[in-house]
Structure 1
Amino acid sequence: MSQCLLDPGDVALVPDPGYPEYHSGILMADAKPYCIKLESKKMAICRISLQLIRRYSKKAKVLFLNYPNNPTGAVANDAFFEETADFASAHGLHVIHDFAYGSFHYEQKPVSFLNAPLGKSVGVELYSLSKTFNMAGWRVAFAVGNEDIIQAINAFQDHVFVSMYGGFQQAATVALQSDDRHIQSLKEVYLERIHFFIRQAEKQLGWSIERPAGAFYLWAPIPDDFEHSHEFADYLLEHTDVVVTPGGVFGAHGRRHVRISMVAPIEQLALFIDRLRILPIRFNQKPAYSGFLMSYTFHRTTIDGYLLSCKIGGFL
């Protein structure tokens, strides 16, 4: 997406914490990512100060959104998307909404950015079959929305890719034409695991973890004994043989969290809890966030942050 819409020196606005590959594409386009800290209010109204408008509006060309959010599990509402679309229209921004987790919601049904009155005129929405249909690695996805952006994507694809393997295309066609009964079953499986892990973490470890509103990850605060998520993740790998994703991979504002995926069965999650119980760690730190939405408070990441996001993000 970035290579379709950004010229060298342009600015793209990305969430922090957020999916690291947004940074990778921006840097490949020789553009500059500017990070927007996600706020802890569940349904914050997105506003930006006049000072920040003057500073960034001439250079900023693209705004990335992702709800339900990876890694925090937050969801957005119609009012949030409508105000975001209005802001983008007023300041010449293209909005790229990553809707990869759109099928996974536990409190309210996720809404499409394209529902906003100006959504289709300012942006596109990306949808992947990787999560909903367990096709991770097949790289089957599609984009809908603004016609000019779609044409730019098609032009780029024509010069970079030839075609997707026909068997994948046929399988994707069958998946998209099927009903959603399997999606409901999959949601129930993830929700059961989420409830189990949160209950056991609180009961056996005193580890308070917020329940996500969407996606299938837990965004867990790290104990006070550790300074950074990478340190805690390395410690868990060494002492429990369990891999969690350090929150610092997702941006500077994720450094006090780790992302725990709920793709493992309950038996393995229970084993993880058992291994944590014997460690000399105090988990009684309250979660710092109860949900995440864009606040439009800008924070420029450091060069080290860029390199870290790109290097590690490629292997997630």
Structure 2
Amino acid sequence: MIPFAARMDRLGTESAFEYMAKAKQLEAQGKEIIHLEIGQPDFATADFICKAAYEAMQAGYTGYGPAAGLPELRAAIAEYIGATRRLSVAPEQVVVMPGAKPIIFFTLLALVEPGDEVIYPDPGFPIYESVINFVGAKAVPLPLRESVQFRCQPEELRARVSERTKLLILNSPHNPTGGVLMPQDLDAIATLARQYDLYVLADEIYSRILYDPPHHSIASLPGMQERTILLDGFSKTYAMTGWRLGYAVAAPAIIEKLTQLMINSNSCTCSFTQMAGITALQGAQQPVEAMVQAFRQRRDLMVARLNQIPGIQCLTPAGAFYGFANVSQLSLDDRALADYLMTEAGVAVLPGSSFGSYGAGYLRLSYANSLSNIEQALEQLEQAVAQLT
């Protein structure tokens, strides 16, 4: 057999899809599974957004478009980011991509050389570490600790910066913990970024899924807009995961490089999807507000029930739609426990260690499911955990 390129051995995966596949296998065998593993809103895309896509198809938006995105969507995004992040943004500072993952990939390809160091949150979205390793850089984990609500600690960040550090990845609101960086955190991080001349990839894909604190972007701080690649998209906010529509906002020179990578890979993002994106940004926001309110109710139910189960503790997340429960007191490690809960309790969750070494001893439970399903899942989970003691 012809060998694969060695770099493929450095490429990881996203555990949510692995566990969802396992759950689907069990379902095919007749077992009922309640899905709390996948990070996908269970709401339908709003009808007026779907209608906009259909009308765009009828109007001829079915061919190639500009690699950086349709001018009208880039302008709409620039206006939206300007309003929500209190920034002055030109359309030339926006590039549209088929989802948010290409932004992670292309940012690392454009900025990072083999041997450079990239600091990323741990626990964190697994694709960060995967792509850092793939491009030949050194992945430097930044611990996020339960004792400080899973917020980045500037002193720990400073200890990990070296002369080889090129990029810092931030994610707020955060997957998998639901933690949110406060203004004082961002001020301290921005000071370090300016002092050590770091680029920052600010993953703000959950920026609209917040329960109490308003969203703050590091890009809005003095001297940070030109060194920040702001990542956002439509998947979470507008329940458009399958539409594959994300975007980056950055300095024009960076946008030029990201566009070059788009030309060499995807050519462009689907045109009628982009037209629907304009409608999502400029149309009624009530569906977003209703979804977040539903997530708040589910969060409160999940956290309260988890904390009633002996051996489990869970902080109340400030954003996103995940509970990150501490299960370190139980007799099984988090991976074995996740497998046990799927096979014995019929509940699919993710082990915290799949998000990095500092996630060991935790489970991530998505509350992007109905209140009744969450209640039933936690009843089954509690019964299964009781059998361990």
TM-score (norm 2): 0.68
CA contact (8 A) 2:123 2:355 kept: yes
Deviation (angstroms), 1:241: 1.6
For residue 3 of structure 1, what is the amino acid of its counterpart?
L
Q: In 2, Cα distance between the equivalents of 1:244 and 1:70?
A: 14
- CA spacing shift, 1:163–1:234, aligned 2, 3 Å: same
Q: Which runs of 5+ in 1 are unaligned?
A: 285-316
State the secondary structure of the residue aligned to 1:35: strand
Residue from 245, 264, 270 that aligns with 1:165: 270
Per mean C-alpha deviation after superposition, the further-off stretch among 21-30 and 5-14 is: 21-30
CA contact (8 A) 1:68 1:101 kept: yes
**Aligned position for 2:143:** 37
Identity of aligned residues (%): 27
**Aligned position for 1:152:** 257
Residue from 351, 355, 359 that aligns with 1:246: 351
- CA spacing shift, 1:111–1:49, aligned 2, 3 Å: closer
Q: Could you give the per-residue CA deviations for residues 200-249 of structure 1, whole angstroms, max 9, x where no partner exists?
A: 33346674321101111000111523342111101101111211011001
**Aligned position for 2:155:** 47
**Aligned position for 1:218:** 323
State the secondary structure of the residue aligned to 2:231: strand
After superposition, where does 1:230-269 map in structure 2 within 5 Å? 230-269=335-374
State the secondary structure of the residue aligned to 2:313: coil
Q: Could you give the per-residue CA deviations for residues 148-185 of structure 1, whole angstroms, max 9, x where no partner exists?
A: 32222122212111122222112112111113222110
Per mean C-alpha deviation after superposition, the further-off stretch among 160-169 and 257-266 is: 160-169
**Aligned position for 1:137:** 242
State the secondary structure of the residue aligned to 2:279: helix
Q: In 2, Cα distance between the equivalents of 1:207 and 1:23?
A: 28
Q: In 2, Cα distance between the equivalents of 1:63 and 1:277?
A: 39
- CA spacing shift, 1:44–1:31, aligned 2, 3 Å: closer
**Aligned position for 2:228:** 123
Q: In 2, Cα distance between the equivalents of 1:68 and 1:282?
A: 35
- CA spacing shift, 1:279–1:227, aligned 2, 3 Å: closer
**Aligned position for 2:171:** 66
Q: In 2, Cα distance between the equivalents of 1:91 and 1:209?
A: 36
**Aligned position for 2:384:** 279
CA contact (8 A) 2:124 2:356 kept: yes
1:89 and 2:197 equivalent? Answer: no
For the aligned residue pairs, the C-alpha RMSD in angstroms reads 2.2
State the secondary structure of the residue aligned to 1:117: coil
For residue 181 of structure 2, what is the amino acid of its counterpart?
A
- CA spacing shift, 1:67–1:141, aligned 2, 3 Å: same
State the secondary structure of the residue aligned to 2:284: coil
Q: In 2, Cα distance between the equivalents of 1:164 and 1:231?
A: 40
For residue 228 of structure 1, what is the amino acid of its counterpart?
D
Q: In 2, Cα distance between the equivalents of 1:189 and 1:140?
A: 24
Per mean C-alpha deviation after superposition, the further-off stretch among 272-281 and 86-95 is: 272-281
Q: Could you give the per-residue CA deviations for residues 12-63 of structure 1, whole angstroms, max 9, x where no partner exists?
A: 111111110011221221212111111332467513587x46xx42211010
Matched residue pairs, number? 281
Residue from 111, 120, 136 that aligns with 1:14: 120
Q: Which runs of 5+ in 2 are unaligned?
A: 1-106
1:100 and 2:205 equivalent? Answer: yes
Q: In 1, Cα distance between the equivalents of 2:388 and 2:181?
A: 29
- CA spacing shift, 1:206–1:280, aligned 2, 3 Å: closer
CA contact (8 A) 1:223 1:281 kept: no
For residue 155 of structure 2, what is the amino acid of its counterpart?
R
- CA spacing shift, 1:270–1:142, aligned 2, 3 Å: same
For residue 376 of structure 2, what is the amino acid of its counterpart?
L
CA contact (8 A) 2:120 2:168 kept: yes
Q: In 2, Cα distance between the equivalents of 1:104 and 1:49?
A: 26
CA contact (8 A) 1:197 1:269 kept: yes
